[in-house]
Chains A and B, each alone.
Chain A
């Protein structure tokens, strides 16, 4: 009889040098040769706060783990440690916004989306307050298992009126997004990549604009519509597909809500392309379904596939292993697209 504790691969049969540890990628999602910048959110917020005295930073015992410690060090009198109390965190941010401040409140995406939802919804979003909720560990960016993996945060938040949702790709975009979301009047949820964050989009002359999807490269065979770290993977996938004489374009959609429907419809309407939506999120309720509904409403119906996490509680382990296992590594995504094109 199979034990409930049995794992698919017998670990002890593997030499210890070949065991990938959960701490792999814990400090950075970057590959070995990838360029990175440290703590882009913390540095961008600290810099912006120099000219925006109304900015304050709040966290629920995750300052160091959301890069807010950089801000706290630069502006100690504007940093509020709320302790391990996400409900209080969100309401305190709302109260400070009511008094005219612009709070950036940080925690992990699981805690904001699951634990503090009612508080973000009613205290912040219903009142349309100028609170920016910035959350690390979006989707599958930790190997700690379901307690820390926010695989459904976008599905949870998309139904919340007034809330803008962004999913930046790299260090450059995070740096650009911070002043942009500060300039936006109203609540924002930002999925955060932390630590040494890969730097990719500088090679594409990229400029973040809230609410705008950007075509990073065009291609005649496949259009990959992606957000967050999956845009990095999409660009790598497009390079790999080129070796296979497959011409793939990448449309980066970092604002999940409001969705840039016009740009998406225009790009997907170009005939003869397979449309693949790639996201670091459950296949349910995220960018994929948002794009699908947008295209259906517009009567644009290309061949359509999703690269997304399964509707499951995911395994613990090392991120490279898990990204391969669940199909969101560059290699897995490339293989999926090749398979779909061959079918």
Chain B
């Protein structure tokens, strides 16, 4: 069993989430479009991961004792960069280079480009299977670090996710914490229509031998409790937190947009978006 203890709730998780969203909007503005709605949606999850649950050293992203965070959904790189900037792993002034030639922040996350990016995601279905290898490797080393893997509802259409789910259950990888972002939006439309099976997602993992929880992925208190339970649950099972999130959360006029998988934001809307985000900032 892992020796990590439950930490007190950081009082400012909502503020971290706000700043992650703000970073994402500032990066989105550089391109004018992109996976901004996903970044806004998953910001609370990342805030809880990076500022409540995970162990790492900002000044030494390859520190052996760190918890590994694998971003399977490479296009969510904008969200992870926003969190890595907030966590002090990437300097804030690199925001403006997002997706530019020779930037360390390419639009799809790659390990060789960016400090804190453990894997090259983007070919969906790889992350959870890689996480199985990391988890096996950490156990061989008798490390008490966790492997977190962020993947998505649409990605669960990939067969390799279920090879990994089955393998992790079989190997009882209690150092593996999967996080599924369920925002019900994928390239061709709602994931509930394109892929299906979203209602049963937690049950599907349970059936594969996982300790599964399903939470409102934009409820910081619920997320905090779920991450705590995932870390300390006294069961020899891999853990998964299925997080229902709202696309573009925090910017109401973008939340209302249909088909926001690859969001186009007009030049005059960025300031409005930042202002809307600021208006909703927790007091």
Chain A positions within 8 Å of B, measured between CB atoms, are 56, 80, 82-83, 85, 87-88, 90-101, 103, 118-119, 122-123, 126-127
Partner pick for B134 among A99, A118, A126, CB 8 A cutoff: A99
Q: Mark B135-163, 1 if CB is under 8 A from A, else 0.
A: 11110110000000000000000011001
- Which of B129, B141, B167 has the most A CB atoms < 10 Å from its CB? B129
Chain B positions within 8 Å of A, measured between CB atoms, are 111-112, 118-120, 122-123, 125-126, 129-138, 140-141, 159-160, 163-164, 166-167, 170
With a cutoff of 8 Å between Cβ atoms, the chain B residues found around residue A82 in the complex are 167
CB distance from A304 to the nearest CB of B (A): 38
| Contact (Cβ within 8 A) A92 B133 | yes
With a cutoff of 8 Å between Cβ atoms, the chain B residues found around residue A95 in the complex are 129-137
CB distance from A78 to the nearest CB of B (A): 8
With a cutoff of 8 Å between Cβ atoms, the chain A residues found around residue B125 in the complex are 87
18 extra interchain contacts, Cβ-Cβ under 8 A, other than A92-B167, A95-B131? A85-B163, A87-B129, A91-B129, A91-B160, A92-B130, A92-B132, A95-B129, A95-B132, A95-B133, A95-B135, A96-B133, A98-B137, A99-B134, A99-B137, A101-B140, A118-B126, A119-B126, A126-B120
CA distance A119 to B161 in the complex (A): 12
CA distance A279 to B33 in the complex (A): 51
CB distance from B209 to the nearest CB of A (A): 13
With a cutoff of 8 Å between Cβ atoms, the chain A residues found around residue B170 in the complex are 83
| Contact (Cβ within 8 A) A98 B134 | yes
Partner pick for A119 among B112, B129, B167, CB 8 A cutoff: B129
Contacts A82-B167, A88-B167, A126-B120; is A119 near B160 (CB within 8 Å)? yes
CA distance A122 to B119 in the complex (A): 10
CA distance A234 to B8 in the complex (A): 72
List 19 interface pairs A-B (beta carbons < 8 Å), by A numbering.
A83-B170, A87-B160, A88-B160, A91-B129, A91-B133, A92-B130, A92-B133, A92-B136, A94-B130, A94-B133, A95-B132, A95-B133, A98-B118, A98-B134, A100-B141, A103-B133, A122-B123, A123-B129, A123-B130
| Contact (Cβ within 8 A) A101 B164 | no
Contacts A92-B132, A92-B167, A98-B118; is A87 near B137 (CB within 8 Å)? no
| Contact (Cβ within 8 A) B141 A99 | yes
With a cutoff of 8 Å between Cβ atoms, the chain A residues found around residue B134 in the complex are 95-96, 98-99
| Contact (Cβ within 8 A) B129 A80 | no
With a cutoff of 8 Å between Cβ atoms, the chain B residues found around residue A90 in the complex are 129
| Contact (Cβ within 8 A) B160 A96 | no
CB distance from A284 to the nearest CB of B (A): 26
CA distance A129 to B216 in the complex (A): 37
Contacts A83-B167, A119-B160; is A98 near B126 (CB within 8 Å)? no
